[in-house]
Chains A and B, each alone.
Chain A
Amino acid sequence: MNGALTQGGYHLSVGRGHAAKGRYAMGKVSRAFSKRGAVDVEAVEAALQPKFALATGPELTVSHTWLDTFDWRLHSAGISLEYLDDGPLILQFRDGSRLQGPRPAKWPALLHDLPAGRLRDALAPIVALRALLPVVTVQRAVRESRVLNADEKTVARLLTESADDGTSQLRVQPLRGYDVDGDRIARLMGGVDGLTAATTTPYDDALALATRSPIDREQDVMVQLRPETPAPVAIASMLAQFAAVIDDNVAGTIAAIDTEFLHDLRVAVRRTRSILKLAGDVLPANIAEQFQPEFKWLGDLTTPVRDLDVYLLELDNMAARLASADPHDLDPFRSFLVRHRAAERRRLVRGLRSRRFEQVMSDWRAALAQLTADANGGPAAAALARQRIDRAFRKVVRRGKRITADSPSEQVHELRKRCKELRYLLEVFRPVCADAPYRPLIKELKALQDTLGDFQDGEVQREAVREFAAVMMEQGAAPPATVLAMGELAAQLDAHQLNARGALVGRLKPFLANQNRARVKALVR
């Protein structure tokens, strides 16, 4: 009837359960099984009788591709996004419910490259600005069989997949409205010789064959900083982690896969610079002095493109808020930004492919490796953390106390930088901090940083809009309507900044209160 596998319906069947999300609560009964060797169809059939019959489908070899963002957002959310052969995209949630949608024309694909629909809506909050990339493709022998009740109605599908390593997986997928049968079938499968409840998903299994894996990242985080670790070793290993992040993100930045590669690369550079500044003195032999200018160069190299990325990402929102001008009046501004960005990107790519960059990174890795090998003695990481966090916090307090509603922007900007430094220190020394004071402290700091960020962005963007307008007029690229719309944009940013300024003093007060001073004191055990 369904002709599932033979007519290429396998794709549809796997995907088109189109059950409402949350419907297939997996409950206590496991519906996924694994087995060493092939699944014995006759044994499965025998176990189902007499209540159910099995309509066995043919075995097909399909290529099965999984997708994820570069930073494994889908994997972290317990979601898999996959397709079989040339079939549609299938999104599978942790609870087994699924959505299906058409595939985009090519990979990598950003959210807006996917056709509008429920699948895209479900991915949007998770994927955000990141591109979806193929992670791994495996060839699997698959068979889809149907489990029929006494009316010969299909109540569940049994999917078996065999991997090259000789293991097989069997999944029970009840049809909508047949969950009770699904559980019953799953219990029957649990009794089949050799089938055991699966502890991994097919995505997990396929990831074992991928060139990259989420575990690399997790292991990095696992390099636990202990209170007694010698400070130079602790600092060197943090810096080595940031260096790895920089390395990780170079290729994606050059290939312009999504804007987050450059963003992450910049964050790692900024963290490197901050740590060198705030704790570089524990490293021997002028390492900090030697590399600080190089990382400043790298930071500066990446700034123009990132700034333009931010304008372009924000432009639609800003255009939507225009009251007097038409959003389309900003189109020439957008084209200008795009052209400008293309030119700046060429410069950035040249920089990232330069001998200088290659040399800096290889020297840096070598220096850090040497440090970790040689380091001996010095203060313990906990002592260093206590001292540096305390110092950074005091700086924030000192600057913060001077801020009033009328303070000049430079002072607010300075405070923002000190807050960032405090944040980086809190993040890198997280493993030696006590939970109780840490959580509220970082929460309040984040809230303060958000307000400072609003203030600063408003300021910088307003100035930039003015400068861009001037350049565009010089180039004859700005029709009057566009200049007027940009004027309105600048006014909006002004108002936004004024709001942030108003909120700032209110946010600062609780952060500077004695309670946080006490938290900082109690922070490092």
Chain B
Amino acid sequence: MIYKQFLIRFFKISIIALLIELTINMYVDPLNYIRANTKTYFSSERNLKARLIEDGIFSGLMMGSSKTAHIRPTKINFNKKILNASFSAALPEEIYSFLVEHNPEVEWIAIGLEWYMFHESRFPYKENVKFSKNFMDIVRYCLSLDTTIYSIRTIMKRIGGDSSYSSTPNGARNKEKKEAIDRNNSEYKYSETLDRLSFRFDDYKISSRRIFDISKIEDWGKANNIKIVWWISPYNKEILKLLHSKHNKEIDNLPIVIKEKVSNFIDLSHKYKTKDKYWKHDPSHYYQTTGEFFFNKNILPIILNKL
């Protein structure tokens, strides 16, 4: 083969392969990045929630971590449209950027907080968080090997008629079937998660930057005439035991520090701690039904009273 042939063939192979990849990914859009997909199997929550808030009109907004993401807005006793814009491992600076960037015209926002969110040495501070996508982001997505793998898996699931979509249209995680299966499991499998969490709570220190972000969100809400309700998520008693075993004043102080910064706050960390309210294979997340129950009972009254 001469050099010229080598080059022509190299360009042909590369261009054709990349074009095929680009076309498949644009058509399947497995992570619902470019609005070509209505039913996503694989979660890219930050992108998905940004897209959902841009595409709809809502009266209420839920934000927080994966725990909050479990709550189905359709099960909340509020007769207007709610979006659950929570995403996994959310951090205060991300919530702030999300709100400022999308500037949602809602009546209220309910934000679920957790201890990990304020522990910078385990969850490093994210500078310059951005949710919007430019042209190059879309090119990167369409040419990414990860996207291609998700596309192939999505196609397989569509062919098999699988209905285990990662998210419902109003942003909640699709866990209905999984919750029923988990409830029927007789065994609790906690040790691995507890080991991992123990490390996360070591050397706990409240991040002043993130407390400042909480204040910024509160101020942003006041400036936009949006009621913001904050809560600390309920914790499983096993995790509470772990938290207290650290004998760290900073851990105990978190609810006090947050309360000083915001006007509508409720600490639910010790309120729903029995094991039956949590996944058996994952003590850190409550069931969807638990989330919906405490939201209706404890959060909604604050929202309705204050509106």
- A and B from one complex: no
